[in-house]
Structures are given as structure tokens and as C-alpha cells.
Amino acid sequence: MRSRYPATSTFSYSFGPGPITPAIKAIIIANVAAFLITLVVPAITLRLGMRPADVVGALHVWQPVTYMFLHGGFFHILFNMLALWMFGVELERMWGTRFFTRYYFVSGVGAALTTLVLSFTPFPFADQLYYALTIGASGAVYGILLAYALYFPNRPIYMYFFFPIPAKYFVMIIGAISLLSSMSGPGGGIAHTTHLGGLLAGYLYLKRGRIHVMSEIKYRYLKWRINRMRKRFDVYSGGRADDVDRRVH
């Protein structure tokens, strides 16, 4: 006999943060379009990718921006865009599209400028950096990871899809890996100094306290409304560092 009442369950599982937000949608579309264009015209990568020797010597001043939209292969763009969606959507909802977009470009351009500055230092890897071509959104994505760890430090992130690690420790680990790797030069085609630059630029920008005040007030108000509703309905609050860790990335 079928019950008149629907079955209930307290267990739920979801992957990722939910529907894509406007800024992230635009960024992903731009990156995919640029990737497809470079498949047809590979020479564009040399023109728009960032090479300190060209930025300084040939005054290709656009490269610290355009390099963010180019990628070296399918998996390169796949994992960057996947990380952007998984960790950036909730930040954009909280900050608002305008601030999120600004933060994304500050992290990405800051990462490029870090690489540019380090290419003029007396360190052993400086000459390699000066003539190396850097492409990819990884610097900006590392800035997104840092912001996520600051706002949701105890959210579990499955490293290599198997090992749950709190977000704050995850960022520390990838930052340490990039630091150690950068000391031996930009090997393996990975610009570790650019990753570190994204982390540093994002951190400094957030510490300036320029987060949109009205966005924060609106978020606090909505969270208060949800917490009141919990008394009448089984509603999970979420989205901040002080919440119960219910989302898994």
C-alpha cells in the first residue's frame, strides 16, 4: 500500500556551488572562445601570452591582461574553469558581480606583474622567467582559492578527489608547492611564480577592506531571515565561514 505522505530524508548531496553566476559565465565564455581561436591560429599565443622580454622590450603592455585568456591544452583550461566555477560562484553571490570581476582581474594582473618583477631579480631563475611565455588563468584562479579559504576556512576540499582537507590548509599546501617549485625555476611548463603572485595580489587586495559594504549588509540580512525560518522549516543556512560545513568541493 502506498503511503499518502511523501518520504522524507535528512541526507542530501550536491556537487559544486549551484548555477553559474554572470561574471563567471562571461569569463568562461571568453576563455573558451580564445582557446578555440588559438587552435585555429596558434601564432596568437605568442602575441597575447605574457613574455617579460616582450612587455619591456617591445612594449607589449597588453600581455599582463590577455595572457589570462589563453591556455596550453584542453585539461589546462578545463581544470582552471572548473575551479573558477566551484570556488568563485559563491564569492560572486556574496560580493556582487562588480567587485568579483574587479578582484579576479586584480589577482590575474597582479600575478603577471609579480612574474615581471621577479624576472629582473638576481635569482637564478630570473633569466628563465624573462624569456618564458606565461599563459593561463591560474594566477587569477589562485586568487579565487585564497579568497574562498579566507571566507570559508573550514569547508572541506577533496584534494585529488580523495583526501578531505579544510580550505585554509588546502591553500597553504598549494602555495607551499608553488613556492618550492619556483625556487628551482618555472619547470614543467608551470609558472609557479605566477601562482604565488595571484595569491599575494588577492590577499593584499582583500586586506584593503574594499568589499562592497551594501553587499555584506544584504548578505547578513538574508542570512538572518534564513535562520528565523529554520524554526519553522528544515532550512540549511550556508555561505559563510561560521556556518556548519555542509558544502563539499
The C-alpha cell at 207 is 586586506
The reported pLDDT for the residue numbered 184 is 55
What is the number of domains present in the chain? 1
Band the pLDDT of 202: cuts 50, 70, 90.
very high
In a domain, 89, yes or no: yes
In a domain, 71, yes or no: yes
In a domain, 154, yes or no: yes
In a domain, 249, yes or no: no
Give how far the C-alpha of residue 242 lies from the chain's centroid of Cα atoms, to the nearest Å: 21
The reported pLDDT for the residue numbered 110 is 96
In a domain, 11, yes or no: no
Rounded to whole angstroms, how far apart are CA atoms 63 and 116?
A: 11
In a domain, 35, yes or no: yes
Domain enclosing residue 142, as ranges:
22-227
Average pLDDT, rounded, for the chain: 81
The reported pLDDT for the residue numbered 173 is 85
Q: pTM for this one?
A: 0.75
The 10s digit of each residue's pLDDT in 34-93 is: 999 999 999 999 999 999 999 999 999 999 999 999 998 898 899 899 889 989 999 999
In a domain, 13, yes or no: no
CATH number of the domain to which 45 belongs:
1.20.1540.10
Q: What is the DSSP letter of 82?
A: H
